[in-house]
Amino acid sequence: MEGSSNDFRFEGLFWTISYRGKTIHLLDSKGAGYLARLLREPGRAFHVLELAGGESGATPASGTVERARKAVSNRIRATVGAIAADHPDLGRHLAGAIHTGAYCRYLPAESVRWEG
């Protein structure tokens, strides 16, 4: 929406999230932190270990990557679900634009600028 600000901002114990003129609040969670990182850099592929805070120097065991992939994907999915419960329009947008797997990224169909 022209003239409205999209915001995904951490404020102490919760996130303030504004999209297309509607604002909601979400308790802090790992999934919300993952989403914030993805939204700040649209199109960038983040390895799940990078999102989860794992070390990037050593080659991780495949079991470690698989556990991280499942954990990160589940947390992102749960957070998008929580957002959708209070802001269905944003929930639909994120469900279509967030891609998870060994690499996660935010690829919106149309350019969306986020503050925060």
pLDDT digit string (tens) for 57-66? 556 778 889 9
Amino acid present at 61: A
Model pTM score: 0.90
pLDDT in tens, 12-54: 999 999 999 999 999 999 999 999 999 999 999 999 999 988 6
Structure-token match 């404020």, residue found: 11
Domain boundaries along the sequence of the chain? 30-109
pLDDT, tens digit, 9 for 90 and up, residues 86-115: 999 999 999 999 999 999 999 999 989 999
Handedness of CA 79, 85, 91, 92 (dihedral sign): positive
Query: Which one-letter DSSP state was computed for residue 87?
Result: -
Q: Where are the alpha helices (DSSP H) in the chain?
A: 30-40, 48-51, 62-86, 88-97
Beta bridge partners of 11: 14
- Measured CA to CA in angstroms, residue 38 lies from 43, 79, 101 at distances of 8, 13, 13
What's the alpha-carbon Rg for the chain, to the nearest Å? Answer: 14
Report how far apart, in Å, the C-alpha atoms of 80 and of each of 29, 55, 62, 70 are.
12, 26, 27, 15
